[in-house]
A and B are shown apart, each in its own frame.
Chain A
């Protein structure tokens, strides 16, 4: 009976777990990082001194508020992606922020403390030019929006439109800017290229045109950057070709020509080929702008100038200087200028190189990059430097150059001006600094746009490697082997003792002081290989190495000169398993238009570039192929096929070429040309040329190929077949060369559109199965794995998303059970299919992956709401019966139901939603039950899933107390009963 109780306890504890998250598991093995993207507008809340808000609008159509003390997000609003959600302008006044969205289509006003929408106004269509706050008598009351052909004025508190006026001659004149100095007038400035400037003056109350004049300006090419309004309505323009400044008072009637001031008279010169930039500042929209302005003459030369009594006087020359910005606090306006800190560069000259080598580990080669900048504060009206205001900004040697500077000025207690700066670099790092150079926080916004990623096992520790090394070596006698084993066991014992001691030592300390900081030096594989290195490639060309357990960025590397529309492909050529060879990753960077590629080889654990010679790729790369063939250094061979079907091997040592020659006849690859609708298969020849062996043409007039996917190379299938209810076996059709090709019809009419599915053998080109889903359209998301294909499409007739599953079986007998060959499979597979309704839209689809493939599979569905649904594959089984029979019950088949359930308990990321999910990456861990999941999009979320629950480890809530109390109870019960039985026997004997 007692064992029954134990059994009961165990079975109870196992039974009541389901594939969901327990509340106490929150944050235990999962983390989320939220990002915003490249900052386009950033405004500090200067409304009150204690305010910590920093409002940002980014190129990812995100409008957010950042805590400027910590860098965390207060709130974030993610608009729809694409041009319709594009943020055109961000204006701030007091507690409210006004945002112009979607090429001037919407005007939204946000309350900035909690992030609530105050009002939203829809504007007329028309391409957006400019927006400005308009003040009347020291109060900002209106916001004006300038479109290509109209100007409208809106009330700031309610959003209601005050008036809208068409602009005169809008078909010839390009109107670009608005200016208002708080005197009841709005000026709209436009120009006709190479002809004249047009200035239209509107009355604020009713939009009546007060005045309209045109001024000769034959040199004008653009108003936006080369012109600015300064000091009570003076238009100032700069022209690079004539090396001149032009001024014009906006309001006066008598001036019909712009006054030209040669830059030579100021001893200035614009660098050739550089478009000079004018920067002015208007601290209060209800008052005219300041008379001081910055003129940028070359990429690293700024000058602060002042307009006084129609004369331009230089206040201070900043040469060299990278960035300059104005900031205002209260009544004081300051200018912050970033200049290269010259002493750092010059001091590490040849004389100091020895010393430098001892200080900086990476000194060699990176010497010229090891730079710092200093930021100084100057008063805007005099150009005088504020004392003790230097901020040293150390540039990341693996990062890019700074390109934007945002200054937050504030008044200190002694009425002097203090400031903090936010620097944005080319590689989209936001760094927030305060005096004298302390980095308050840092955000890696490049991670908002992850393109591809891989997970790499962490290296073994020294002791583990020692033990592993024992197996790799050839045997050298029995006795040395035994001794070696003993010594390594001893080392392990030592390490274990040290570990125990550390545990004991840490246990005495308070919790908070024990902090397991993950650094690149302490990285080592854990016992179940649950912690891995996430190598992420971002669209901006920055690579990251992130610890999967904590989300800490361990290394980052910015690749300069990456085209914005490049395609990246990340390949793990050598894992960490081949100690002492370092792991090796190869990144193929391909230009989208030309197809020309280059390879970047690096160590995924430390992020350092390898010094392996990389083959030059003079021709566009069409296809890459990672072979299981390894060279003498255990690196897998990568084949690159160019547009002349020539093959380049990397690495291409003699050993590799020899192996390739031996195996060439069994190496096949395929190419997809979606513009011609052609799929072609090739075979490798001995001399690394190729021969065409099959070709499938899908006519492009009817349908176009949208996606082609094979199976994942690292996927294991545990069982060859499925046991049926009558104890027979249905064998799976496990063709590793099978390609799933998805096509969409070119006709997008609701009744005639369709989605096509082809299953093609990649070696022979044989079409194994073909299916057409009528009245359906994309986007199609699909997963191709084992013997099944799951795809999602939009049913345009019933306006819903539908899942369809295809499963391929060989039948009751296996043709050749030992090896699969595409060339010798005479029987076509049996195909089963079933479809289901999915009651939600879908962003992305992926399947879980485990070490040996024993664990049941789940599908991970990314939803637009940001949740990740873990859907058991059991629900997508074409053998789900409509009528339940004894056999189907025996097989554990769920009866067919048309609608797929969505349960919130199946959301693996509970309330940690991931915005704009773009991809889900799954990787096996050392535990068969556990699959590592990384979801990326605007945010990054990492977690573990247990599709069949944790069957191979004790659960977190395992009841040790119960089990030990039962055991002890039983032990004592037997002791006592034994004693009692003895006594009883004795008594009986005496009787």
Chain B
């Protein structure tokens, strides 16, 4: 869920940036920009100048530099089983003790750089290298692949949290069940139905009249949901979760029995009926 929200936010940012670019008069955003923008020059470190090599074949081989950071964790605790991967494992780099990393001998092209760690999660970054060896980093977008949202280079990889591999087991605790508002709504009327007649003296005619009056008032309000309906809705299993697999389907398959029974109750008991009726239906 969280990631989806994140991506939506990213998309928003992307749109904004696009608008900005357009307003500034930048024309087309090519996949590989050959001309060097002023930012490029600024972000270059002295180190970067010496990382371009020309191999005997003539093609450019560059070194991709960056830094990875896991906030609140010492580097030596996580770097020994982390790797920097470019496009799968076609190019591999390792992380230094200060968190910096470099991937050497990368020919020109466009790559997705990711940090693979069994414990921590990092957002991948797309790295574009031109034929002359210029580099830039941008956000990975597999759907709109030509969209450019620049990221700083040398790369700053920041951990977005630990991997969540496990799902929580559903535990069933009595207090959870009893404190459920639905259960409370069901139990309280039951108590009232059972206890009220005993507490009140039904032979008193004044009381009888008063009760009838209040009953009429209640029933006249048609918009109030019926208790029976609430109860049936509660007992029929939620539909939305039955999608994950065949097993879930099996559960749903089991459920119609429940649902069918419940709807029968709904059909049998008209809306305008006393609460006593409901109670009788349910004690069957």
Contacts and interface: CB of A to CB of B under 8 A. Distances in A.
Interface of A: 1, 4, 7-9, 11-24, 75-81, 84-85, 102, 105-106, 108, 111, 114-120, 122, 125, 798-800, 837, 839, 841-843, 854-856, 864-866, 872, 874, 892, 894, 898-899, 904-905, 907, 910-913, 916, 929, 946-951, 957, 959, 962
Contacts of A108: 94
Given A22-B166, A864-B116, A106 B80 contact: no
Contacts of B118: 866, 911-913
Contact of A105 (B81, B105, B169, B254): B105
B108 interface: no
Interface of B: 51, 53, 55-56, 63, 75-77, 79-81, 83, 85, 87-92, 94-97, 102, 104-105, 110, 112, 114, 116, 118-119, 121, 140, 142-143, 145, 163-167, 169-170, 172, 235, 237-238, 241-251, 254-255, 258, 282-284
A854 B250 CA distance: 12
Given A11-B237, A125-B55, A911-B119, A856 B246 contact: yes
Contacts of B164: 904-905
| In the A-B complex, the 7 residue pairs with the closest CB atoms | A841-B88, A949-B247, A948-B246, A865-B116, A910-B165, A115-B80, A911-B118
Contact of A19 (B55, B102, B163, B244): B244
A117 B95 contact: yes
A80 B90 contact: yes
B56 A14 contact: no
B169 to A, nearest CB: 5
B165 A85 contact: no
Given A4-B258, A865-B114, A23 B246 contact: no
B157 to A, nearest CB: 14
Given A117-B95, A866-B116, A911-B119, 18 more contacts: A13-B172, A15-B251, A18-B245, A22-B169, A23-B169, A105-B104, A115-B80, A117-B96, A117-B97, A120-B94, A839-B142, A864-B88, A864-B116, A865-B85, A892-B249, A899-B142, A913-B116, A950-B247
A916 to B, nearest CB: 7
A950 B245 CA distance: 11
Contact of A872 (B77, B81, B145, B245): B245
B283 A1 contact: yes
A77 B165 contact: no
Nearest to B119: A911
A111 B75 CA distance: 13
A615 B53 CA distance: 58
Contacts of A837: 142-143
Contacts of B104: 105-106, 120, 122
Contacts of B94: 77, 108, 117, 120
Contacts of A946: 247
Contacts of A949: 245, 247-248
Nearest to B140: A839
Nearest to B244: A18
Contacts of A119: 96
Contacts of A12: 170, 172, 237
A23 B164 CA distance: 10
Nearest to A802: B142
A712 B7 CA distance: 40
A2 to B, nearest CB: 10
A901 to B, nearest CB: 9
A79 B112 CA distance: 18
A820 to B, nearest CB: 25
B80 to A, nearest CB: 4
B244 A13 contact: no
B92 A85 contact: yes
Given A85-B92, A951-B247, A907 B238 contact: no
Contacts of A905: 164-167
B80 A116 contact: yes
Contact of A841 (B87, B92, B284): B87
Nearest to A101: B104
Contacts of A872: 244-245
B99 to A, nearest CB: 10
Contacts of B119: 911
21 contacts: A1-B282, A7-B258, A8-B235, A22-B166, A23-B169, A75-B81, A77-B83, A80-B91, A105-B104, A108-B94, A111-B97, A116-B96, A122-B104, A839-B140, A841-B88, A865-B85, A865-B114, A892-B249, A911-B163, A913-B118, A947-B246
Nearest to B248: A15
B165 A907 contact: yes
A899 B7 CA distance: 12
A952 to B, nearest CB: 10
B189 to A, nearest CB: 14
Contact of A798 (B142, B237, B249): B142
Contacts of A800: 142, 145
Nearest to A114: B76
Contacts of A75: 80-81
A912 B282 CA distance: 51
Contacts of B77: 114
B166 A21 contact: yes
B97 A22 contact: no
A947 B245 contact: yes
B51 to A, nearest CB: 8
A855 B165 contact: no
Contacts of A115: 79-80
A963 B119 CA distance: 38
A941 to B, nearest CB: 13
Contacts of B96: 116-120
A78 B246 CA distance: 39
Contact of A23 (B55, B85, B166, B254): B166
